[in-house]
Amino acid sequence: MPLPARPNIAIVGATGAVGRELLLILHQRTFPHKSLRLLASSRSAGSTIEHCGQRLTVEELTENSFDRIDLAFFSAGASVSKTFAPIAINQGAVVIDNSSAFRMDENVPLIIPEINGSVLDDFPQPGIVAVPNCAAIVVLMAVTPLHRAVGIERMVVSTYQAASGAGTAWMRALQQQAHDYAQGRPYTTDVLGRQYLFNVFSHNSPIGPDGSNFEESKIIAETHKIWGDDSVRVTVTCIRVPVLRAHCAAVNLTFRQPLHEDQARDILQAAPGVKVVDDRDANKFPEPIDATGLDDVLVGRIRADLSQPPNMGLNLFVAGDQLRKGAALNAVQIAECLVQSPARTV
C-alpha cells in the first residue's frame, strides 16, 4: 500500500534546524500534500511558522498528534523518535526518521535514495524508514559510485563537521562567539561549554569502549548496512570545525580492483547528486560555504594515492550541506520514493 498521492504530513521537531529545512524543501520541491501539521515540544507549541504564504501554528507533540497522518517526518532526537514513532505507525503513518533511534534496526531500511532507494520497492507501510547519519550521507554519496565500480577494500575518513549537526542552538552559539570576539568580550559558552570560534575539537559524542566516539561508530556501521557489506574496512576520525552548516571530509580509499584517477573522475561526474569541483589550476575545490544551500554533494581533490600500488588507492575531499542532503533533503527524497514508487524521480 503506497502512500496516498497527497498525504497528510506531520513534522515532529518543526522548529529545529532540520525541521525548518524540511518545510523549505517540501515547498521548493512542491511536494504534494493535503495537510501539514507542525509538532514540537510544549516549549515551542503555540509559536507560528510561515510556510508558502500561510502562518502555521506549532502544536504540542502528544500521543494524539498522529490522527489521520499518512507521513510523519521525525527530527527531534532519538528519544522522541523512540517514544513517538511507534505511536505514529500504530495510527497508520509512514515515519521517516532523521534520528539514530532505528537506523541499525534490521527491520528498518536505512536509505540514501540515489544509492539504495530500490530497497523501498518492497517497503511494507506503515513502517519506519531511517535517514542515515549526516556525515555518512555526505561521504557515501561520493564514495558509493566508486565502490560500485571496483569495490572499496578500506576507507580512512577524517571529518570537518559543522555546528548545524548539533542543531540551531550550536549555530547561534558559534555566531555569538564571533560577536563576542569582535566586541572584546569573553566567549559566551552557556550552550557550547567551550570556545568554538577559531578552534577545532573532537566530535562531542560520547566515547565507546573501543575508543571511537558514537559519531564515528555510526558512520562505520551505517556504511556497512547501506552497502550491505560488512567486510569493507572503515576507520573514521570525527572533528568539529567552526563552520555553520556544511560537513566536509577527507577520504582515503583502497580499492579491491584497480581504478585510474581519470576513471574515478568520470564516474563521479556521472553520479547523481554529486558535483565535481576539482580545478587544480585555480586551486578551487569543495568548500563548506559553497556546499551550503546546495542539494549536490561536492567532491574534489580527486587524486591517486601514491602510497598505494598504482590505481589501487585514491584521495578525495567532499563537502555537503548537513541540513539538506545530510538530513532534510534526503528525508524528502525518501518520501518521494514512497509516494511515487515505483516511478521515482531521483
The CB-of-222 to its own copies minimum distance in angstroms stands at: 15
The 283-312 site mask, x for binding its own copies (CB under 8 A), equals x-x-xxx----------xxxxxxxxx----
Q: Which of 80, 85, 83, 105 is nearest to 95 (CA)?
A: 85
Among 199, 258, 266, 345, binds its own copies (CB under 8 A): 199
* Cβ-contact 162, 135 below 8 angstroms: no
Q: Which residue in the set 68, 83, 121, 201 belongs to the binding site for its own copies (CB under 8 A)?
A: 201
Contact between 190 and its own copies per CB under 8 A: no
Does position 195 interact with its own copies (CB under 8 A)? The reply is yes
Q: Is 39 in the site for its own copies (CB under 8 A)?
A: no
**C-beta of 205: minimal distance to its own copies in Å?**
8
How do strand 8-12 and strand 71-74 relate by DSSP bridges? parallel
Three-state DSSP class for residue 295: coil
100 vs 57, 78, 174, 180, 310, CA distance in Å?
A: 27, 6, 24, 34, 38
Going by C-alpha positions, the residue among 4, 7, 71 that lies closest to residue 39 is: 71
Residue 210 binding its own copies, by CB under 8 A: yes
134 flagged as catalytic = yes
Please give the residues from 85 up to 144 whose contact with its own copies meets the rule CB under 8 A: none
Quick one: 43 or 280, whose CB is closer to its own copies? 280
Cα–Cα distance, 116 to 52 (Å, whole number): 31
Could you tell me the smallest distance in angstroms from the CB atom of residue 268 to its own copies? 14
**CB 276 within 8 Å of CB 263:** no
Report if residue 191 touches its own copies, rule: CB under 8 A.
no
**Nine cell digits for residue 95:** 515515519
Candidates 147, 203, 247, 248; catalytic one: 247
φ, ψ of residue 152 in degrees (nearest 5):
-95, 125
By CB under 8 A, residue 28 contacts its own copies? no
The CB density around residue 216, as the number of other CB atoms within 10 Å, is: 25
- Candidates 56, 87, 104, 241; binder of its own copies (CB under 8 A) is 241
Choose which of 51, 127, 261, 263 interacts with its own copies (CB under 8 A).
Answer: 261
- Which one-letter DSSP state was computed for residue 122? G
According to CB under 8 A, which one of 1, 183, 186, 310 is a site residue for its own copies? 183
Under rule CB under 8 A, residue 211 binds its own copies: yes
Write the burial class of residue 210 (CB in 10 Å: 0-12 exposed, 13-18 middle, 19+ buried): exposed
Supply angle C-alpha 331, 300, 220, rounded to 5.
50
| Residue 244 found at the interface with its own copies (CB under 8 A) | yes
Contact between 178 and its own copies per CB under 8 A? yes
Question: Hey, what's the cell of 179?
Answer: 560577536
Q: Is 242 near its own copies (CB under 8 A)?
A: yes
Cα 317 to Cα 159: distance, rounded to the nearest angstrom: 10
Does 126 sit behind a cis peptide bond, omega within 30 degrees of 0 on the bond before it? yes
**What residues act catalytically?**
134, 247
Interacting residue ranges for its own copies, rule: CB under 8 A = 154-156, 158, 160, 174-175, 178-179, 181-183, 195, 197-202, 204, 206-207, 210-213, 233-235, 237, 239, 241-244, 248, 250, 252, 261, 280-281, 283, 285, 287-289, 300-308, 313, 315, 317
